[in-house]
Amino acid sequence: MKNVKLENTEWEYRLSGLKPLLKRCDKIGYVAARNTRIISDALTEYFDFRHKLIEKYGEPDIGTNGKDLGTISVKPDSPRFDEFMRELKPIGAVTNEIRIMTLNYRDVMGELSGEEILENDWMLTENEEENQNG
């Protein structure tokens, strides 16, 4: 395990990068699942804050048939997008230090594509002591 310090928005990006690994039924999938839970828990307040801003500034999503889909979003072309971003930016920039599980590069060689390794290198290490995950 190791401590990683990133802004909320960067953690959110890292969280989305774990999704493809969650389908795996091996050590890689296990570590991805654990890190997904750890990061999601750490970002609970950020996600709640963002959701409240979406409710405040968002507009109903309309389907191709013209009917309300029952969801709300704030799109970049929304008239209130700048206000939304102005309020979200300071919270997105808050730094969180999270203790994550790690994998050794040797554990993923031949298991993940180069693209997947680059996407998730933040949880990979060459240090055996960090990989004890205890």
The amino acid sitting at 75 is K
Q: Report pLDDT digits (tens) over 38-85.
A: 999 999 999 999 999 999 999 999 999 989 999 999 999 999 999 999
Distance of alpha carbon 72 from alpha carbon 55, whole angstroms: 7
Report the percent of the chain where pLDDT is more than 90.
90
Find residue 103's DSSP bridge partners. Answer: 124
The string of pLDDT tens digits covering residues 5-20 is: 999 999 999 999 999 9
pTM: 0.84
CB 28 within 8 A of CB 122: no
